[in-house]
Amino acid sequence: MARCYTPPMITRDRYAPSPTGLQHIGGVRTALFNYLFAKASGGAFILRLEDTDRSRFDPAYVKNLYDTFAWLGLYWDEGPDIGGPYAPYIQSERFALYRQYALELIDKDKAYYCFCSPERLETVRSKREAARSSETGYDRYCRAIKRDHAAKRAADGEPCVIRLKIPLDNTTRFHDQLLGDIEWQNNDINPDPVLLKSDGFPTYHLANVVDDHLMGITHVLRAQEWLPSTPLHVILYQSFGWNPPAFCHLPMVMGQDGKKLSKRHGATSVDEFRHQGYLPEALINYVALLGASYIEGKDLYTLEELEVCFSLEKLNKAPAIFDYKKLEWYNGQYIRMKSDKDLAALALPHAVDAGLFGQNNAAPDETQGRAFIEAIPLIKERVSFLHEIPEKLRYLFAEPPLPETSEFLPKAMDIAKTIELLELGRELLEPLASRNDADAEAFIKAYAESHSVKLGNLMMPLRVALTGARVSPPLFGTVRILGAHVSRARVERALAALRKVNGQIT
Ligand code: GLU
């Protein structure tokens, strides 16, 4: 057989959200897998807005979509905002096209005009209900109307919709890249669904299939909840005489209780995660693992790594369980990977919001700004969220309330002894403020030894005096950032309070 040139398979896939809500984890997972599949196969990733449901459309959701993906750093190759060879990428700007294709199906005898009024449809429904009939959906009443006659009635302006003729017998088969061969009895498919509504608007099925075809989509990767629509889409492709794309229905995302992930489980919209102080890298890494496994034993993936190692073979059939604790772990990991300067910049809005630098969401002055960056290493290992950072560092920017006396006392020490320890500690402030951690540690150890006190006993009252708590970020860094002067003032305040309780005149 003669060899012939076969062009390389250029993949094209798309994320096709309906802007009727905030972008949530499920949508981001679909977008991310499409993005990764396109990158890994050298193809193109397209954004198409499926805004045919005008009653639920809200421009705020379109803005939220753009904001979300800009924050995540996921970019499409073609889309409403950047254009592309198949523009427009917004379905409401393509309405004339869907009408034209619906009419083409009528010409091909694969669709028909339906003139049934809402009242008639309601009567059919209630009669069936009364008769306890198991039949649902349209009763195909208008399918029998002669084509010329129907065309004339439509041309005369009689209100009508256009319905698809679902073949009455047989089954519809297609192959799903993840789930394998799928067969659907045609009489289990919604009887003759509407393609074009009486107001001329297309339904999801028509617009989706026409656009996927016209935009050259080769792979449809979408949530498994769309699986029941696929036989219908396959019939539509067949009715047009087009080749369907490859389908891949992604595993469901469930909460820990095995139910579909929803608000009941916690945050689901990306906005919420963002405001809670999650980093985009952590969200991307975790979402990329929802229903897929890549390299055995490897948890952390950058987007660039995922772009290389993603493939449909790596998808799991089983539903993915969304584990908030695991996501938190990822967030902590990515927080630790940030440089102090970058982390400070990311945490800054949270700190301003928390009033760390003064009332009314004051911005930091120069000294505060510097101190904030210097303080980052003190807490980097101890936080999982950006918003935890201001609370952990608050004691550096405002004197903490004076703790109860008992808080100052090391184990088995009374107040008088604690005062002595704190007085010893006071002498350390000057030398500690100018030493790095290693030198400070050596210095304080030698000091404790020469005064025959335990290191822990020396440090505890000092820590409580400076930070207001027994458990706090590291002491040496604290003294460095507060400086000897402020540190000393805090120690004096604590000493005065302890002496008072102890009955000493101050
Ligand atoms: N507009 C549909 C949605 O909101 C698209 C489903 C599909 O990918 O075909 O998810």
What pLDDT, in 10s, does the model give residues 187-200? 899 999 999 999 99
Mutation test of ligand 1: which of 22, 25, 226 has the most ligand atoms closer than 8 Å to its C-beta? 226
Is position 472 within any domain?
Answer: yes
Confidence of residue 167 (pLDDT cuts 50, 70, 90): very high
Q: pLDDT at residue 2 above 80?
A: no
Mutation test of ligand 1: which of 204, 217, 233, 236 has the most ligand atoms closer than 8 Å to its C-beta? 204
Q: Which two tokens stand for residue 434?
A: 């100018």
Mutation test of ligand 1: which of 222, 230, 252 has the most ligand atoms closer than 8 Å to its C-beta? 222
Look up the CATH number of the domain holding residue 304: 1.10.1160.10
User: Around Cβ 71, how many Cβ atoms within 10 Å?
Assistant: 16
Longest Cα separation, the chain? 109
Output the CA 239–ligand 1 centroid distance in Å.
Answer: 21
Specify whether 448 is located in the same domain as 463: yes
Is position 70 within any domain?
Answer: no
Output the CA 211–ligand 1 centroid distance in Å.
Answer: 12
Output the CA 30–ligand 1 centroid distance in Å.
Answer: 10
Confidence of residue 169 (pLDDT cuts 50, 70, 90): confident
Specify whether 417 is located in the same domain as 378: no
Cβ < 6 A, ligand 1 pocket: 16-18, 50, 208, 222, 226
Give the model's pLDDT for residue 1: 55
User: Around Cβ 28, how many Cβ atoms within 10 Å?
Assistant: 24
Nearest protein Cα to ligand 1, atom 3: 17
Residue pair 141/178 in contact (Cβ under 8 Å)? The answer is no
Look up the CATH number of the domain holding residue 357: 1.10.8
Output the CA 220–ligand 1 centroid distance in Å.
Answer: 10
Question: Considering the chain, what is the average pLDDT of its residues?
Answer: 95
Specify whether 372 is located in the same domain as 462: no
Residue pair 335/384 in contact (Cβ under 8 Å)? The answer is yes
pLDDT single digits (tens) 331-341 = 999 999 999 99
Give the model's pLDDT for residue 4: 67
Please give the number of the atom of ligand 1 that sits closest to the Cα of 20.
4
Nearest protein Cα to ligand 1, atom 10: 17
Give catalytic residue positions: 263
Q: pLDDT at residue 7 above 90?
A: no
φ, ψ of residue 180 to 5 degrees: the values are 90, -155
Specify whether 409 is located in the same domain as 431: yes
pLDDT single digits (tens) 13-37 = 999 999 999 999 999 999 999 999 9
Nearest protein Cα to ligand 1, atom 5: 16
Specify whether 322 is located in the same domain as 361: no
Please give the number of the atom of ligand 1 that sits closest to the Cα of 30.
8
Output the CA 231–ligand 1 centroid distance in Å.
Answer: 15
The count of residues in the chain is 506
User: Which residues face 202 on adjacent strands?
Assistant: 196
Give the model's pLDDT for residue 267: 82
pLDDT single digits (tens) 87-104 = 999 999 999 999 999 999
Give the integer Cα–Cα distance in Å for 17 and 36: 17
Please give the number of the atom of ligand 1 that sits closest to the Cα of 222.
8
Please give the number of the atom of ligand 1 that sits closest to the Cα of 14.
8
Burial of 235-272, coded b for 16+ CB within 10 Å and e otherwise, reads bbbebbeeebbbbbbbbbbbbeeeeebeeebebbbbbe
Please give the number of the atom of ligand 1 that sits closest to the Cα of 208.
9
Give the model's pLDDT for residue 284: 98
Confidence of residue 161 (pLDDT cuts 50, 70, 90): very high
Mutation test of ligand 1: which of 18, 32, 34 has the most ligand atoms closer than 8 Å to its C-beta? 18
Helix (H, G, I), strand (E, B) or coil at 152: helix
Spatial CA neighbour of 207 closest among 216, 196, 217: 196
Nearest protein Cα to ligand 1, atom 2: 17
Output the CA 501–ligand 1 centroid distance in Å.
Answer: 69
Specify whether 420 is located in the same domain as 497: yes
Run of H or E residues at 124: helix 118-130
Is position 319 within any domain?
Answer: yes
Give the model's pLDDT for residue 466: 98
Is position 499 within any domain?
Answer: yes
Look up the CATH number of the domain holding residue 471: 1.10.10.350
Specify whether 354 is located in the same domain as 385: yes
Is position 313 within any domain?
Answer: yes
Work out the percent of the chain whose per-residue pLDDT is above 90: 92
Specify whether 294 is located in the same domain as 381: no
Nearest protein Cα to ligand 1, atom 6: 16
Is position 221 within any domain?
Answer: no
Please give the number of the atom of ligand 1 that sits closest to the Cα of 221.
8
The predicted model gives 243-247 an average pLDDT of 98
Q: pLDDT at residue 234 above 80?
A: yes
Output the CA 222–ligand 1 centroid distance in Å.
Answer: 7
pLDDT single digits (tens) 96-154 = 999 999 999 999 999 999 999 999 999 999 999 999 998 889 999 999 999 999 999 99
How many domains does one find in the chain? 3
Specify whether 429 is located in the same domain as 496: yes
Give the integer Cα–Cα distance in Å for 233 and 242: 11
Specify whether 343 is located in the same domain as 327: no
Is position 303 within any domain?
Answer: yes
Confidence of residue 57 (pLDDT cuts 50, 70, 90): confident
Give the integer Cα–Cα distance in Å for 392 and 53: 47
Enclosing domain of residue 356: 338-393
Specify whether 353 is located in the same domain as 445: no
Q: Which two tokens stand for residue 303?
A: 């987007």
SS3 content of the chain, % helix, strand, coil (to 5): 50, 10, 35
Specify whether 434 is located in the same domain as 474: yes
Is position 500 within any domain?
Answer: yes
Residue pair 491/422 in contact (Cβ under 8 Å)? The answer is yes
Output the CA 431–ligand 1 centroid distance in Å.
Answer: 65
- Range 387-392 contact pairs with CB under 8 angstroms and sequence separation of 24 or more: 387/276, 387/277, 387/350, 387/354, 388/277, 389/343, 389/347, 389/350, 389/351, 390/347, 390/350, 390/351, 390/353, 390/354, 390/356, 391/354, 392/473
The predicted model gives 425-451 an average pLDDT of 97
φ, ψ of residue 314 to 5 degrees: the values are -85, -5
